[in-house]
């Protein structure tokens, strides 16, 4: 028996040895023309159905059994490559893919099949070009509005870029720009996002089944990666629209070694409207609004194993009203200057170092900085000059400020143990500085005001994670991991262990079943004064009085490929529970400066559940998707609505989106969208009573009582009524014209094609008979727009 046992052990060792002797290929997958990394590109061996996906930097590592193999590489929108290779050792093998000919229906990228086999669920990628093809409000292409068109993701009010994912609030979305959190992603009071589509390489949205590497939010991760810049040639692209213009310039620092891209955008609403404003005022008033974005990124390859990136973003919104005048009388002169307004903006910076220790171990080290600040201000100055030359001056400055700053560092490792085990692990640290509220007054009257300000709050957030994607048996693949995090604030610790697991079972080559479970913790809260994501919303931390938000989410789904791989179809169901949510108490708001923000809020819980359906076609001259969501979404607070559960404002029972793009030729294409959503839940007055008053002002006599004209309203249960349903169609037409220097394009789009009067909010008014009625306020009617775009790439000729 001992001899037989030793023989078995020898055979086992031989098998393991042969397995370990398998050759490994590794390298980068890039765009052949620009050198851009193709994030998430698929590489696999058809004979074994084993494969992997390139990471965020285009790096892959794959074990190949035997000495020969056929390898396939694919990426959505690109021509797939098939390569026969012979191996006698581990080999570095880079791939460069070309854009596919979308006019050919024969071009079917088989990259969908590896996506079907991945454990990842409740996630989606949206190519930058697909985002640009979607018709836009006022011609402004918007990343977040494109994301709103996916199932499980809802917009807020009419025209806004707010994101509400599977019943969560706007603060529960981790929005990353090159790995750096962006705290306020909105321009124009929520109607546009801060992301310039010309500067974007890749967008991924994760709604559930969160891998362990993500943490810090409950509802979604929106991971946006900027372009790296063209490593081959200098090029420029930009556009001129009705309300803004944009320009991006990119090119090599050193060909095939380093590149840079700089991209900017600015509105000119304030400039265009200035003559109209002056014509309707006394000529001294100046009312305006503008926003701008500036993105920059550079990278350099120092060798086969080292690459450095630096990227930055800054953007600001400013709404202002200025008044400047002077007049003279009786040899006296009065001069007066006044400016009031709202200003908010973001700054993000990331410094990255990629290092390849071996063909199995990849490290990304990142240092980050993020800042968001909001300011509401008034600045006044007056000067009086008497006839005898005496001068008297007064000045006054008041400002309300709120903001958050982050300093962070993280280390992320990818370790390719084998084709059966792809391990990710890392650590993360963020130093938060919160300024929830600060009110300061300076000048000649400043001493008369004493407002309580919130002290700066310092928070330390720690995280570590490990996850492994493995295949214990044939057809069953599992991604299991653990995210451990902790928050230290006001000498109090909040530790959290968050298990994550996603599974995939491949029923056949075109059908798989998936399931996931994820626990999440969030140490930040957004104290919102409204439902439309205004900059007045305050970012506040968990404190010794306010606990962190927690959630548990379970999801199950089926994914399928149809029509020989041309179509993807999926259906998912989910249930999510949320704890320690915060809301303003009844009657409280951010402008009440008599007490701290902690005393204005109450805590409660929420839960949501539903199902999502998606049918998508990514290739060919006709492409697009149909999405449908059926969902329920509730909140419960002991101090609100008499403790009874109520629908969340964005509890939307039905949500439908249809997106279609059709390319007639190389020069002409058309795109359209149609959306439908159940009306938002609202609270309305259901009765009114006159106020008993003993004063004689504005009274009338009725029997023995005197009543004033003031009234008291009795309101319904919280969010017990619905606005009318929301639906809208948009249409876009684009003409491309080749030029000697590149390409020019004209785009005409129509927002709200059939002029639907969608509700923005519901108000009350008194008609001519003194009767109270409800009225619907609509924001946008049919809005046509035209824009001109260009691409300049003279060095390619």
**Contact predicate 295/349, CB 8 Å:** no
Strand (E) positions, 302-455? 306-329, 332-356, 361-385, 391-418, 421-443
Query: Domain check: are 97 and 138 in the same one?
Result: no
Query: Domain check: are 510 and 447 in the same one?
Result: yes
**Distance of alpha carbon 403 from alpha carbon 548, whole angstroms:** 19
In the block, residue with structure tokens 């029997």: 703
Query: Domain check: are 85 and 159 in the same one?
Result: no
Q: How many structural domains does the chain have? A: 2
Pairing label, strands 220-226, 173-177: parallel
Domain assignment present for residue 418? The answer is yes
Please report, for the domain that includes residue 31, its CATH number: 2.60.40.1120
Render pLDDT for 374-411 as a digit per residue (tens, 0 to 9). 888 888 888 777 877 777 878 877 878 888 999 999 99
Quote the pLDDT of residue 703. Answer: 43
Which among 105, 131, 164 is the end of a domain? 105
Please report, for the domain that includes residue 236, its CATH number: 2.40.170.20
**Distance of alpha carbon 617 from alpha carbon 634, whole angstroms:** 34
User: Residue 737: is its pLDDT beyond 80?
Assistant: yes
Write out the two tokens for 397. 């400055």
Domain assignment present for residue 712? The answer is no
**Distance of alpha carbon 511 from alpha carbon 190, whole angstroms:** 40
User: Residue 690: is its pLDDT beyond 80?
Assistant: no
Question: Once rounded to an integer, what is the mean pLDDT over residues 153-180?
Answer: 84
Write out the two tokens for 115. 């996506």
pLDDT band at 425 (very low <50, low <70, confident <90, very high): very high
**Contact predicate 618/595, CB 8 Å:** no
Query: Domain check: are 281 and 334 in the same one?
Result: yes
Mean pLDDT over the full length of the chain:
82
Render pLDDT for 34-78 as a digit per residue (tens, 0 to 9). 888 888 888 888 877 778 888 888 888 888 887 888 888 988 778
Domain assignment present for residue 213? The answer is yes
Instruction: Residue 555: name the closest of 576, 538, 536, 537 by CA.
Output: 576
Share of the chain above pLDDT 90, in %: 35
Which among 55, 72, 105 is the end of a domain? 105
Domain assignment present for residue 283? The answer is yes
Write out the two tokens for 498. 């968050």
Query: Domain check: are 83 and 231 in the same one?
Result: no
286 or 735, which is more confident: 735
Q: Which residues have a Cβ under 8 Å from the Cβ of 285 and sit 6 or more positions away?
A: 277, 278, 321, 322, 323
**Distance of alpha carbon 483 from alpha carbon 495, whole angstroms:** 11
Quote the pLDDT of residue 577. Answer: 96
Domain assignment present for residue 62? The answer is yes
**Distance of alpha carbon 192 from alpha carbon 535, whole angstroms:** 13
User: Residue 298: is its pLDDT beyond 90?
Assistant: yes
Q: Which residues have a Cβ under 8 Å from the Cβ of 157 and sit 6 or more positions away?
A: 190, 531, 532, 680, 760, 761, 779
pLDDT band at 127 (very low <50, low <70, confident <90, very high): confident
Is 120 in a helix, a strand, or coil?
Answer: coil
**Contact predicate 321/337, CB 8 Å:** no
pLDDT band at 700 (very low <50, low <70, confident <90, very high): very low
Domain assignment present for residue 217? The answer is yes
Q: Tell the burial category of 365 from Cβ atoms under 10 Å away from its Cβ (0-12, 13-18, 19+).
A: middle
Pairing label, strands 258-267, 180-181: unpaired
Which among 77, 105, 133 is the end of a domain? 105
User: Residue 112: is its pLDDT beyond 70?
Assistant: no
CB atoms inside a 10 Å sphere around CB 769: 6
User: Residue 657: is its pLDDT beyond 70?
Assistant: yes
**Contact predicate 378/343, CB 8 Å:** no
117 or 252, which is more confident: 252
Query: Domain check: are 88 and 133 in the same one?
Result: no
Cα dihedral 83→84→89→94 (10° resolution): -10
User: Residue 630: is its pLDDT beyond 90?
Assistant: yes
**Distance of alpha carbon 370 from alpha carbon 183, whole angstroms:** 8
Which of 182-191, 280-289, 468-477, 629-638 is least confident?
Answer: 280-289
Query: Domain check: are 39 and 133 in the same one?
Result: no
* Ramachandran class of 42: left when φ > 0, alpha when ψ lies in -120 to 50, beta otherwise: beta
Query: Domain check: are 101 and 127 in the same one?
Result: no
User: Residue 583: is its pLDDT beyond 80?
Assistant: yes
Quote the pLDDT of residue 452. Answer: 53
pLDDT band at 101 (very low <50, low <70, confident <90, very high): low
User: How would DSSP label each residue in 724-751?
Assistant: PPEEEEEEEEEEEEEETTEEEEEEEEEE
**Distance of alpha carbon 797 from alpha carbon 790, whole angstroms:** 16
Query: Domain check: are 483 and 612 in the same one?
Result: yes
Domain that holds residue 403: 123-683+783-796
User: Residue 704: is its pLDDT beyond 50?
Assistant: no
Question: Once rounded to an integer, what is the mean pLDDT over residues 577-585?
Answer: 91
Quote the pLDDT of residue 649. Answer: 85
Query: Domain check: are 217 and 345 in the same one?
Result: yes
Full-model pTM: 0.85
Question: Once rounded to an integer, what is the mean pLDDT over residues 571-591?
Answer: 85
Instruction: Residue 122: name the closest of 732, 718, 573, 789 by CA.
Output: 573
Domain assignment present for residue 747? The answer is no
Quote the pLDDT of residue 529. Answer: 63
Q: Is the dihedral of CA 274, 277, 283, 285 positive or negative?
A: negative
Output the CA–CA distances (angstroms, integers) from residue 402 to 340, 452, 457, 524, 527, in the order listed.
Answer: 17, 14, 12, 14, 11
Question: Once rounded to an integer, what is the mean pLDDT over residues 112-119?
Answer: 57
Question: What distance lies between CA 191 and its chain's CA centroid?
Answer: 13
User: Residue 10: is its pLDDT beyond 50?
Assistant: no
pLDDT band at 514 (very low <50, low <70, confident <90, very high): very high
Question: Once rounded to an integer, what is the mean pLDDT over residues 308-315?
Answer: 95
Tell me how far apart the 2 most distant CA atoms of the chain are, in Å: 122
139 or 524, which is more confident: 524
**Distance of alpha carbon 147 from alpha carbon 164, whole angstroms:** 10
Segment (H or E) for 238:
strand 235-240
In the block, residue with structure tokens 């930009």: 238
Which of 147-156, 478-487, 580-589 is least confident?
Answer: 580-589
Quote the pLDDT of residue 19. Answer: 43
Question: What distance lies between CA 288 and its chain's CA centroid?
Answer: 27
Query: Domain check: are 98 and 138 in the same one?
Result: no
User: Residue 605: is its pLDDT beyond 80?
Assistant: yes
User: Residue 109: is its pLDDT beyond 70?
Assistant: no
User: How would DSSP label each residue in 172-225?
Assistant: GEEEEETTEE-S--EEGGGTEES--GGGEEEEEEE-SS--TT--S-SSEEEEEE
Render pLDDT for 226-244 as a digit per residue (tens, 0 to 9). 999 998 889 999 999 888 8
532 or 153, which is more confident: 153
174 or 451, which is more confident: 174
Domain assignment present for residue 570? The answer is yes
Query: Domain check: are 82 and 160 in the same one?
Result: no
Instruction: Residue 519: name the closest of 204, 216, 168 by CA.
Output: 216
Helix runs in 563-693, H state only: none
């Amino acid at each position: 028996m001992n001899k037989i046992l030793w023989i078995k052990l020898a055979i086992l060792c031989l098998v393991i040895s042969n397995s370990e002797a398998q050759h490994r290929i590794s390298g980068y997958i890039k765009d052949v023309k620009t050198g851009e990394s193709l994030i998430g590109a698929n590489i696999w061996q058809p004979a074994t159905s084993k494969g992997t996906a390139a990471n965020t930097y285009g790096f892959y590592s794959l074990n190949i059994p035997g000495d020969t193999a056929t390898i396939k590489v694919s990426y959505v929108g690109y021509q797939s490559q098939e390569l026969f290779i012979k191996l006698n050792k581990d080999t570095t093998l880079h791939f460069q893919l070309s854009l596919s000919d979308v006019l050919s229906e024969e071009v079917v990228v088989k990259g969908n099949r590896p996506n079907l086999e991945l454990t990842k669920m409740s996630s989606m990628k949206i190519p930058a070009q697909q985002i640009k093809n979607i018709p836009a409000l006022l011609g402004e292409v918007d990343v977040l509005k494109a994301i709103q068109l996916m199932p499980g993701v809802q917009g807020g009010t009419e025209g806004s870029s707010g994101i509400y994912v599977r019943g969560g609030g706007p603060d529960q979305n981790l929005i990353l720009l090159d790995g750096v959190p962006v705290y306020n992603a909105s321009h124009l009071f929520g109607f546009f996002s801060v992301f310039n589509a010309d500067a974007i390489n890749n967008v991924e949205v994760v709604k559930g089944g969160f891998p362990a590497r993500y943490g810090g939010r409950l509802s979604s991760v929106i991971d946006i990666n900027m372009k790296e810049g063209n490593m081959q040639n200098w090029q420029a692209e930009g556009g001129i629209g009705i309300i803004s213009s944009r320009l991006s310039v990119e090119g090599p620092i050193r060909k095939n070694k380093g590149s840079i891209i700089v991209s900017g955008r600015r509105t000119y609403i304030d400039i265009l409207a200035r003559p109209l404003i002056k014509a309707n005022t006394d000529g001294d008033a100046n009312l305006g609004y503008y926003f701008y974005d500036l993105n920059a990124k550079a990278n350099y390859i120092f060798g086969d194993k080292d690459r450095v990136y630096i990227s930055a973003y800054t953007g600001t919104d400013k709404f202002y009203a200025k008044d400047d005048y002077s007049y003279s009388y009786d040899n006296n002169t009065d001069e007066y200057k006044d400016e009031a307004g709202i200003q908010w903006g973001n700054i993000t910076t990331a410094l990255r170092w990629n290092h390849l220790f071996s063909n199995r171990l990849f490290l990304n080290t990142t240092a980050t900085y993020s800042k968001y600040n909001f300011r509401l201000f008034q600045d006044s100055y007056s000067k009086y000059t008497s006839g005898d030359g005496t001068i008297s001056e007064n000045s006054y400055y008041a400002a309300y400020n709120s903001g958050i700053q982050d300093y962070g560092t993280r280390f992320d490792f990818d370790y390719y143990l084998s084709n059966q085990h792809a391990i990710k692990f890392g650590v993360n640290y963020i130093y938060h500085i919160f300024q929830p509220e600060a009110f300061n007054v300076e000048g000649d009257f400043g001493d008369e005001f004493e407002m309580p300000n919130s002290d700066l709050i310092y928070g330390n957030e720690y995280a570590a994670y490990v996850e492994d994607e493995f295949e214990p048996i044939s057809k069953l693949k599992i991604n299991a991991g653990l995210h451990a995090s902790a928050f230290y604030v006001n000498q109090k610790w909040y530790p959290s262990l968050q298990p994550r697991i996603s599974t995939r079972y491949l029923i056949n080559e075109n059908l798989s079943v998936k399931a996931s479970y994820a626990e999440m913790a969030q140490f930040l809260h957004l104290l919102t004064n409204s439902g439309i994501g205004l900059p007045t919303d305050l970012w506040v931390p968990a404190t010794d009085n306010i606990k962190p938000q927690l959630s548990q989410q379970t999801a199950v789904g089926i994914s399928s490929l149809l029509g020989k791989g041309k179509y993807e179809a999926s259906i998912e169901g989910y249930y999510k529970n949320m704890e320690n949510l915060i809301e303003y108490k009844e009657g409280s708001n951010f402008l009440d400066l008599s007490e701290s923000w902690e005393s204005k809020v109450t805590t409660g819980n929420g839960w949501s559940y539903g199902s999502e359906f998606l049918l998508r076609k990514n290739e060919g001259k006709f492409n697009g998707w149909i999405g449908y969501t059926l969902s329920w979404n509730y909140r419960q607070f002991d101090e609100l609505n008499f403790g009874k559960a109520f629908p969340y404002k964005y509890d939307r029972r039905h949500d439908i989106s249809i997106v279609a793009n059709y390319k007639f030729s190389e020069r002409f294409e058309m795109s359209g969208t149609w959306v439908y959503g159940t009306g938002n839940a609202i609270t309305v007055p259901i009765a009114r009573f006159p106020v008993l008053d003993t004063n004689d002002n504005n009274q009338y006599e009725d029997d023995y009582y005197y009543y004033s004209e003031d009234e008291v309203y009795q309101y319904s249960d919280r969010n017990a009524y619905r606005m009318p349903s929301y639906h809208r169609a948009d249409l876009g037409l684009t003409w491309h014209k080749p030029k000697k220097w590149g390409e020019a394009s004209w785009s005409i789009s129509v927002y709200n094609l059939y002029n639907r009067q969608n509700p923005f909010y519901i108000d009350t008014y008194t008609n001519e008979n003194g009767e109270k009625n409800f009225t619907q306020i609509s924001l946008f009617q049919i809005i046509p727009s035209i824009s001109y775009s260009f691409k300049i790439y003279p060095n390619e000729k």
